[in-house]
């Protein structure tokens, strides 16, 4: 018998000063049995960094050819494709061809560094790709916030993220690995 996903709920109050986006979100996050708290919280952070009224979580680890999060426009086309972790370069190129914007949030310490060294040259021609990376300390700090029911406040300013609950706060500074050159 297959194990079922664990449902987590998050009330997220967001103030993204970098994008001038503010909102309150009631999120339901299905955590696949093989997914760690760390990965689930990185997905939640990816939501906060790209939040919109139409952004939704994908089916997760059980759907290999689907984004971890995606934002659809009114016509049903994919506006934003968001992957968490270390997707291979073929998956990144496929996402770049299917979506207007692709965002990859990598984490994993040394493994993420090796992944990026091997992948960077193969995706450098993608004009709609942005890749950022979390340090192992930042992703572990996120893990400490994981609960079945979360009430979180998030402020984003000048690329720095403050995320906290009633009793714990973390400050995260992701590293930009790749982004399109402004024309």
**Residue 147 included in any domain:** yes
H-type alpha helices, the chain = 37-50, 89-98, 110-123, 136-143
CA max distance for the chain: 53
What is the average pLDDT across 36-53?
Answer: 96
**Residue 103 included in any domain:** yes
**Residue 105 included in any domain:** yes
Tell me the CA distances in angstroms from 25 to 89, 113, 158, one per residue in order.
Answer: 32, 32, 22
- Structure confidence at residue 133 (pLDDT): 97
What is the value of pTM for the model shown? Answer: 0.94
For residue 57, count other CB atoms closer than 10 A to its CB: 18
Q: Cα–Cα distance between 105 and 136 in angstroms, integer?
A: 13
- Structure confidence at residue 61 (pLDDT): 53
Beta bridge partners of 178: 131
**Residue 5 included in any domain:** no
- Structure confidence at residue 90 (pLDDT): 95
Angle among Cα 33, 83, 81 to the nearest 5 degrees reads 125
**Residue 3 included in any domain:** no
Helix (H) or strand (E) holding 35: none
Residue range(s) defining the domain that contains residue 116: 11-178
Would the pLDDT of 2 be above 90? Answer: no
**Residue 1 included in any domain:** no
Nearest to 12 by CA among 31, 29, 35: 29
Q: How many domains is the chain built from?
A: 1
The CATH number of the domain holding residue 41 is: 3.10.640.10
**Residue 35 included in any domain:** yes
Would the pLDDT of 180 be above 90? Answer: no
**Residue 57 included in any domain:** yes
């Amino acid at each position: 018998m297959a194990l079922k996903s664990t449902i987590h709920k998050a009330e997220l109050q967001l103030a993204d000063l970098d994008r001038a986006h503010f909102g309150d979100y009631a999120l339901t996050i299905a955590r696949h049995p093989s997914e760690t708290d760390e990965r689930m919280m990185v997905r939640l952070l990816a939501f906060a960094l790209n939040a919109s009224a139409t952004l939704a979580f994908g089916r997760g680890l059980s759907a290999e050819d689907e984004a971890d999060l995606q934002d659809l426009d009114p016509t049903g086309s994919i506006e934003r494709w968001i992957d968490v972790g270390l997707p291979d370069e073929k998956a990144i190129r496929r996402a770049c061809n299917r979506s207007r914007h692709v965002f990859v949030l990598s984490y994993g310490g040394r493994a993420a560094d090796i992944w990026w060294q091997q992948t960077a040259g193969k995706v450098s021609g993608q004009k709609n790709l942005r890749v950022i990376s979390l340090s192992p300390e930042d992703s572990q700090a996120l893990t400490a916030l994981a609960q079945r029911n979360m009430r979180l406040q998030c402020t984003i300013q000048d690329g720095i993220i403050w995320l906290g609950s009633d009793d714990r706060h973390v400050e995260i500074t992701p590293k930009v690995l790749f982004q399109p050159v402004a024309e």
